[in-house]
Structure 1
């Protein structure tokens, strides 16, 4: 197996996985049967269970296997949505800023075709901290990475204040 072909565990885009595999199969000049056998070796976890549960003789070609694979894992596919959808991601009332950052990184990056400025604006629009919003508005972050770093610094600052207040209460 070529080293650049990773395993597929259902957490990534199945189309990306399939395209990388097909490219390698062409270079290696694998036959139809070899493609089926080698592709099976790239599946782990629930993807492997899906493959093992396929009815006997239901796959006649690698094309059948590819179509079945994409149909079964299509919900994992990255797809282009209207860029404004990124503004629908919001920090929940019961969600800490740290939890929201992790969710935003996962959800926000699944929208292909959203430019950096939209990602930054979407993140700034989504947070509930008025102090962080004020900080962002004083000096707009140029990249999502910068916005996330500043949000992390804000979290560390809040945590330091909390510790200081706890110490103050403890010594009173």
Structure 2
């Protein structure tokens, strides 16, 4: 025995060494992959920033050229003199002093624009620029909306598919190269394979399931039930717990009656009944209740329906009045015992037909008994009348039995 224990201890020590070695190798591989991943991320971010900067520069140059064209042909920039016949021949240098010394009656901005519209062929050289850059606008390049650079682009000749991971401090997804993703998936598969081997070793217990930090928030009820504040002195009355072997409908009925004695406000009653129902369950029934999906129950009616559906196999079949025909007077059984057994079976039937009850009781009696003959000759309209007649015959039967016993006792004394 001691040798077996020693071998078991050595086996566990070797197993722990193997586990430590596997953990160390996995940590090294994960660190190596993490470094490669960080390097790829930095390279991708650098390439993306360079490409974005070049695109922004080209767009800025384009908008600057368009803005200059707009300034050149803006009515506020220059006013041609009265003797000018072609606006294309104007220059910016003499426009400023002439604009400041313009007298009344000379052509101003409005007349300049009218002249430009009348002489459209003179500005036909701007059409290629308009087709390429669009019509110039007065918005400067510095106030244009900033264009978000592409983050899904990876500078690669084949441009492979990109897998994105959201970083903890950035809202922009960081791309991960497919090669790194494949290596990580292969590594995780190896980890699962090694864990299966460890779990398959003889004598190794399965790993214990760890509870999450938010396990205290688990509840099958939704927010409409959880957010209701219960009374300060709310206590569920003590009742027999349900273990799955009795009728679930009977347990729910008893729970309703017990909870009706608790004084709570109308808006708190349903929440109290929902949150107190789990206290009345034990064993597998409590396990079923705890494993319900979080937020899946929104009312006490939904909880009762789920409860009845889960434990439908434990429900007692509904008894009918015709079942009373199975109760008959046994051989040598007294009339009192037969009446007691019949009443016990009758109480289990919620809705009884009076005529069927009377007929079943009469059919169950001895055919040669006086009560059977009495009920056959003079039928009763209610079962209370039947019981009254039965009690009269019970007193007669017990009196005769007692007298017979007394006579037998006296004859036995004489014989001795």
The interval holding the TM-score normalised by the smaller chain is: 0.5 to 0.7
Counterpart residue number, 1:88: 326
Unaligned runs of at least 5 residues, structure 1 = 1-6, 42-47
Distance in 1, Cα, partners of 2:398 & 2:250? 40
SS across alignment from 1:90: coil
Counterpart residue number, 1:118: 356
Distance in 1, Cα, partners of 2:278 & 2:335? 40
SS across alignment from 1:170: helix
Counterpart residue number, 1:52: 282
Give the CA deviation at 1:141. Answer: 2.2
Q: Indicate if the aligned counterparts of 1:14 and 1:73 stay in contact, CA closer than 8 A.
A: no
Counterpart residue number, 2:399: 160
Distance in 1, Cα, partners of 2:361 & 2:325? 8
Distance in 2, Cα, partners of 1:171 & 1:93? 27
- Which structure has the larger Rg over C-alpha atoms? 2
Counterpart residue number, 1:74: 315
| Candidates 373, 376, 379, aligned match of 1:140 | 379
Measured against aligned partners, the alpha-carbon deviations of 1:51-106 in whole angstroms (never above 9, x if no partner) come to 1222161356443355425636521x6x364x544333322336433222222112
Give the CA deviation at 1:119. Answer: 0.8
- Closer, same or farther: CA 40–147 of 1 in aligned 2, 3 Å: farther
- Closer, same or farther: CA 65–59 of 1 in aligned 2, 3 Å: farther
Give the CA deviation at 1:33. Answer: 4.0
- How many residues matched? 157
Counterpart residue number, 2:410: 171
Give the CA deviation at 1:36. Answer: 3.0
Distance in 2, Cα, partners of 1:11 & 1:149? 34
Distance in 2, Cα, partners of 1:132 & 1:17? 39
Give the CA deviation at 1:34. Answer: 1.1
Matched, 1:131 2:361: no
Q: Indicate if the aligned counterparts of 1:91 and 1:127 stay in contact, CA closer than 8 A.
A: yes
Unaligned runs of at least 5 residues, structure 2 = 1-238, 412-416
Give the CA deviation at 1:158. Answer: 0.9
Q: Indicate if the aligned counterparts of 2:371 and 2:393 stay in contact, CA closer than 8 A.
A: yes
Measured against aligned partners, the alpha-carbon deviations of 1:120-166 in whole angstroms (never above 9, x if no partner) come to 11111112262110122232222112212322221221111111122
SS across alignment from 2:338: helix
Runs of 4+ in 1 over 6 A off after TM superposition: none
Counterpart residue number, 1:102: 340
Distance in 1, Cα, partners of 2:248 & 2:331? 29
Counterpart residue number, 2:99: none
- Closer, same or farther: CA 131–114 of 1 in aligned 2, 3 Å: same
- TM-score with structure 1 length normalisation? 0.64
- Closer, same or farther: CA 142–31 of 1 in aligned 2, 3 Å: closer
Distance in 1, Cα, partners of 2:291 & 2:254? 19
Distance in 2, Cα, partners of 1:16 & 1:105? 26
- Closer, same or farther: CA 167–14 of 1 in aligned 2, 3 Å: same
Of structures 1 and 2, the one with the larger relative CO (CA 8 A, separation 6+) is 1
